[in-house]
Amino acid sequence: MAYSAAVRRRRAIGALVSGVVLAGAGAILLVAWQAGWWATAFGSALCILWIVGLDCWSALRGGAPAMPADSIPSDADAMPLLALLDQVPVPLVRIDGSGARVLNRAGRHLFGTDDRILPTPPELVDPAADRLRHEGRAWRISAVAMGGARRLAVLIDVDAEERAAEGRASDEMIDILGHELLNGLSPIVSLADSAVTAAARGDAMLPDILSTLARRIEGLEGFTRAYRTLSRLPDPVVAPVSLRDLGDDLARLFASRFGDAVTLIMTVSDRTATMDRDQLTQALWALLQNAAEAAVAAGPPCRVDLNMAADDQGLTIRIGDTGHGIAAPDRARIFRPFFTTKPNGSGIGLSLARRIARAHGGDLSLLPTARTMFELHLATSSAGVPHSSTKQRPD
């Protein structure tokens, strides 16, 4: 009876721990799937499969008759668990307070030990740490609490994830290029055949066919130039730039392009910031054009807001418009090269603007607001008097 009660108690505790670990692994899998961390998602899925398999094995074993405790080998319960853990392709580590042990073959290979990790890296035993640097490689720590100071940690190779992401980006770029080139070449070939036939017959439609052919060739050439611009962005040459002077240049460009059809409201700090002025002007001009076109499409009153503020932490530029906003399905795709919702758009403006921002050590993002608002942030030094002014574009 005592043995049966102990078995039931042990199984109840095991079921509770399995449920907690399964919930934690499921949460990690969901976050990894949404963030595109495929290695983390794969490792979490394997952990979930391991837990489900272990529970099934325990359930099937539950119908066996009870045996005296001294007739069961001490490691009998651990054998299926160890066999499953050993096949997981990512390093698994059990953390107990200030120490850590490897749990599978990948972990033994990484740390060069069969059991305890000596010396234990401080990042492993720090619950707040999510990164580990070991033998020149970067690892992300995804840990699940197992009660008390015990945690199960999965180590994800950050470099491998980055290589996988680069591979996916390259494949996507090749698919886009192939699709666009085929779409551009197919009508050109057809029009060329029609022109040859029309010339042989003396058809009066020949000039119209040649004119259409020329436009298609120009369109394909424009796409090729756009791709070349996107892929050959030079390194920025930074220098101190007055934000007021930059704002005045953009206001003059805006007035010459949109006249009185769209009002530009600027709020500019009277400071300087280090940047490549030509590149940043190109990025901001692409954002301003998109904003103005969206405002015009929505109808009057048409307004675009440009806010440039700099402090000791960096430069922040926000551009918003009075348009209808960006559809939810498109918000995750607008920065992809050649993605556009405009009939005659090239789809490189936002991609190029983000590349310019990141080349400066910053980033460009779409803020999660109902009104379309882009934010470009550069972590750059600035200087000057912190005085701001608001004005409309010059006439």
Winning range, highest mean pLDDT, from 32-36, 68-72, 300-304: 300-304
What is the residue-wise DSSP string for 336-376?
STT--SSTT--S-HHHHHHHHHHHTT-EEEE-SSSS-EEEE
Is residue 211 located within the same domain as residue 172?
yes
Is residue 213 located within the same domain as residue 264?
no
Report residue 383's pLDDT band, with 50, 70 and 90 as the boundaries.
very low
Is residue 312 located within the same domain as residue 182?
no
The pLDDT tens digits of the residues spanning 260-283 come to 899 999 999 889 999 988 889 888
Inform me whether the pLDDT recorded for 28 exceeds 60.
Answer: yes
pLDDT value at position 70?
44
Asked whether residue 169 is assigned to any structural domain, the reply reads yes
Q: Quick one: average pLDDT of 301-306?
A: 94
Inform me whether the pLDDT recorded for 210 exceeds 80.
Answer: no
CATH of the domain at 373: 3.30.565.10
Inform me whether the pLDDT recorded for 72 exceeds 80.
Answer: no
Is residue 54 located within the same domain as residue 33?
yes
pLDDT value at position 55?
66
Asked whether residue 141 is assigned to any structural domain, the reply reads no
Give the lowest-confidence range in 11-15, 62-66, 92-96, 331-335: 62-66
The Cα 260–Cα 292 span in angstroms is: 11
Is residue 203 located within the same domain as residue 176?
yes
Is residue 256 located within the same domain as residue 386?
yes
pLDDT value at position 1?
44
Asked whether residue 197 is assigned to any structural domain, the reply reads yes
Is residue 227 located within the same domain as residue 314?
no
Is residue 272 located within the same domain as residue 223?
no
Domain count, the chain: 3
Of 184, 201, 231, the domain-final residue: 231
Is residue 210 located within the same domain as residue 264?
no
Q: Quick one: average pLDDT of 103-119?
A: 86
Winning range, highest mean pLDDT, from 25-29, 179-183, 225-229, 248-252: 248-252
Give the lowest-confidence range in 74-88, 145-159, 338-352, 361-375: 74-88
Asked whether residue 243 is assigned to any structural domain, the reply reads yes
Asked whether residue 155 is assigned to any structural domain, the reply reads no
Q: Quick one: average pLDDT of 356-385?
A: 80
Of 182, 215, 231, the domain-final residue: 231
Of 36, 61, 89, the domain-final residue: 89
Is residue 200 located within the same domain as residue 78?
no
Asked whether residue 376 is assigned to any structural domain, the reply reads yes
Q: Quick one: average pLDDT of 321-329?
A: 86
Q: Please classify residue 310 by burial: count the beta carbons closer than 10 Å to its beta carbon, then call 0-12 exposed, 13-18 middle and 19+ buried.
A: buried
The pLDDT tens digits of the residues spanning 169-207 come to 556 665 655 555 665 666 677 777 777 787 877 777 778
Report residue 232's pLDDT band, with 50, 70 and 90 as the boundaries.
low
Structural tokens at position 217: 């060739």
Q: What percent of the chain has pLDDT over 70?
A: 61
Report residue 97's pLDDT band, with 50, 70 and 90 as the boundaries.
confident
Is residue 254 located within the same domain as residue 219?
no
Is residue 301 located within the same domain as residue 387?
yes
The pLDDT tens digits of the residues spanning 135-167 come to 777 888 888 887 777 888 888 887 776 666 655
Report residue 288's pLDDT band, with 50, 70 and 90 as the boundaries.
very high
What is the residue-wise DSSP string for 65-124?
PP--GGGS-TTTTHHHHHHHHHH-SS-EEEEETTEEEE-SHHHHHHHT-SSB-SSPPHHH
pLDDT value at position 164?
67
Asked whether residue 156 is assigned to any structural domain, the reply reads no
Q: Answer for the pair 264, 393: CB distance below 8 angstroms, yes or no.
A: yes
The pLDDT tens digits of the residues spanning 326-344 come to 888 787 777 776 666 665 6
Asked whether residue 204 is assigned to any structural domain, the reply reads yes
What is the span of the domain harbouring residue 70? 1-89
